Structure 1
Amino acid sequence: MANSYFRFKQFTVHQAKSAMKVCTDACVFGAYVSLKEKACSNEETNILDIGTGSGLLSLMIAQRVNGNIEAVEIDDSAFEQANENFEISPWQKRLTAIHADITQLSILKKYDIIVSNPPFFQKSLKSDDLKKNLAKHTTTLPYTALASIACSHLAEKGKFYILLPFEEFIAFEKIALENKLKLFEKVNIRQHTLSNYFRTIGVFTNVATPEAVTEHSISIKDKNDAYTESFIELLKDYYLYL
């Protein structure tokens, strides 16, 4: 059974009420976004987190990125959990949890940064747990809807970051392009240096980009099952024992 909380260096994520628990690939995603954006943000930067769950991604970004973060969550319990985690964090004044279906939410502003670790496992069998179904499947948030929302609410020259399973990212990239979102950077993640990639971070924008997409890779552990230097460098500001 997963722990009811996960303690980081500067904040704690309580997760008993959220179906999706803190996991390594989500932490890599949060750390990567914050690393890329920490020098580009200011107090007027607007950030949108779509499907925040326990609030993990918003909290990781808030630690290193200036600006105001609005985190949308459809599930009642997960929304309550995120709101509680925000209130006990050092950045509670810059974090706002919104209980809503993002596809039905009336949004009037544009965002400089939009992030999402969306539901996936489109073709896998669903469990009997409704909360896990909402969290892991695209039933309530199809990729077409997500791409359309990101395109509609991204400020000019803004960035849209997304974390998806490696193979599903290929399909999402095509959907994003149809919605005028252009991929300019991607990061493939694998568990070990010799294993296959299992997640991809994509960075999209709504302006013209060079033809070549910048591509990186991150291995979480090396052949000796120890954290790699690149993983340590990315997560050292967050994990307690790095």
Structure 2
Amino acid sequence: MANHYFKFKAFTVHQEHCAMKVCTDACVQGAFTAQYLEQTHLVPAYILDIGAGTGLLSLMLAQKTEALITAIELDLPAYVQAQQNFSASPWAARLQVASADIREWESGRCFDFIITNPPFYEAALKSNNHQRNQAMHATTLNYRELLLAIQQQLTPTGRFSVLLPYTSFDSFMLQAQQGGYHLQQVLYIRQTPQHDFFRTVGIFGKEVTQTITTTMSIYDEEKAYTPEFVSLLKDYYLYL
């Protein structure tokens, strides 16, 4: 049984009511995105988290930025959980969550940066768990709709971070390019150097530039975290 909470150095994520629990690849996305903002000297005033789940990504970015962060979550139990996690964090004053469908939601503002860990699978076998299917599969939000929502919510000079399966990323990237968004940085993730890549974090913007590509293994041959992983997550993980 999954733990009901995941304790980080600066905050705790309770997750008993969420279909999608805290996972390593989402943690990598949050840390990589925060690092990107720091290295590129981007200082977003307003950040949007689409499909917040537990609120993990919002909390990770709140730790590293001074932005006002709005999270959107369609699933009601996950929305309540994210709200509780935000209220218990050191950054409660800068975090808010809305229970809404991003396709219909009107914020009244545009955002400087968007982060999203969207439903992954557009064509794959589903389980009997409706809540998990909604979180894992593009049953309510496909890639085209996600990109349309991003375009509606993002400022013209804004950028966004997305976490997707490695096998789906090229398809998403082509759709993003058709919408005028170009890959700025990309991180390919694998479990060990002996494994194939299984996740991709991409950061997109309107600017046409040479893509900076990084690869990372989570574990080494001895099943220990790699130095690259430790360097990326050391400000978050409790025992790094």
Shift of 1:233: 0.4
Which residue matches 2:111?
111
Q: Which whole-Å deviations, capped at 9, do the CAs of 1:110-163 have from their partners, x for residues lacking one?
A: 111101000012222111111101100101011001111112222132111000
The answer to whether the Cα contact below 8 Å between 1:45 and 1:67 also exists between their aligned partners in 2 is yes
Which residue matches 1:219?
217
Which residue matches 1:4?
4
- Give the residue type in structure 2 aligned to 1:224: E
- Give the residue type in structure 1 aligned to 2:233: L
Which residue matches 1:122?
122
The answer to whether the Cα contact below 8 Å between 1:41 and 1:66 also exists between their aligned partners in 2 is no
TM-aligned CA distance change 1:23 to 1:228, over 3 Å:
same
Tell me the TM-score normalised to structure 2 length.
0.96
The answer to whether the Cα contact below 8 Å between 1:73 and 1:101 also exists between their aligned partners in 2 is yes
Which residue matches 2:161?
161
Shift of 1:41: 5.1
The answer to whether the Cα contact below 8 Å between 1:38 and 1:66 also exists between their aligned partners in 2 is no
Which residue matches 1:22?
22
The 10-residue stretch of structure 1 (56-65 or 119-128) with the greater mean CA deviation from structure 2: 119-128
Tell me the TM-score normalised to structure 1 length.
0.95
Which residue matches 2:138?
138
Alignment of 1:23-62 (within 5 A): 23-38=23-38, 40=41, 42=43, 45-62=45-62
Shift of 1:92: 0.4
- How many angstroms apart in 2 are the aligned matches of 1:109 and 1:28? 28
In structure 2, list runs of 5 or more residues that go unmatched: none
Shift of 1:193: 1.6
- How many angstroms apart in 2 are the aligned matches of 1:177 and 1:36? 20
- How many angstroms apart in 2 are the aligned matches of 1:143 and 1:15? 26
- How many angstroms apart in 2 are the aligned matches of 1:183 and 1:64? 23
Q: Residue 192 in 1 paired to residue 174 in 2?
A: no
Q: Residue 97 in 1 paired to residue 97 in 2?
A: yes
Which residue matches 2:72?
72
The answer to whether the Cα contact below 8 Å between 1:114 and 1:160 also exists between their aligned partners in 2 is yes
> The residue matched to 2:191 in structure 1 has which SS?
strand
- Give the residue type in structure 2 aligned to 1:233: S
Query: Alignment length, in residue pairs?
Result: 239
- Give the residue type in structure 2 aligned to 1:66: E
- How many angstroms apart in 2 are the aligned matches of 1:48 and 1:70? 5
- How many angstroms apart in 2 are the aligned matches of 1:49 and 1:65? 14
> The residue matched to 1:195 in structure 2 has which SS?
coil
> The residue matched to 2:175 in structure 1 has which SS?
helix
Which residue matches 2:149?
149
- How many angstroms apart in 2 are the aligned matches of 1:30 and 1:115? 8
Which residue matches 2:239?
241
> The residue matched to 1:57 in structure 2 has which SS?
helix
Which residue matches 2:228?
230
TM-aligned CA distance change 1:152 to 1:206, over 3 Å:
farther
Which residue matches 1:170?
170
Shift of 1:94: 0.4
The list of structure 1 runs, each at least 4 consecutive aligned residues, that deviate by more than 4 angstroms after superposition, is none
- How many angstroms apart in 1 are the aligned matches of 2:42 and 2:123? 38
- How many angstroms apart in 2 are the aligned matches of 1:151 and 1:234? 29
Pairwise CA RMSD: 1.2
- Give the residue type in structure 1 aligned to 2:90: P
- How many angstroms apart in 1 are the aligned matches of 2:59 and 2:37? 14
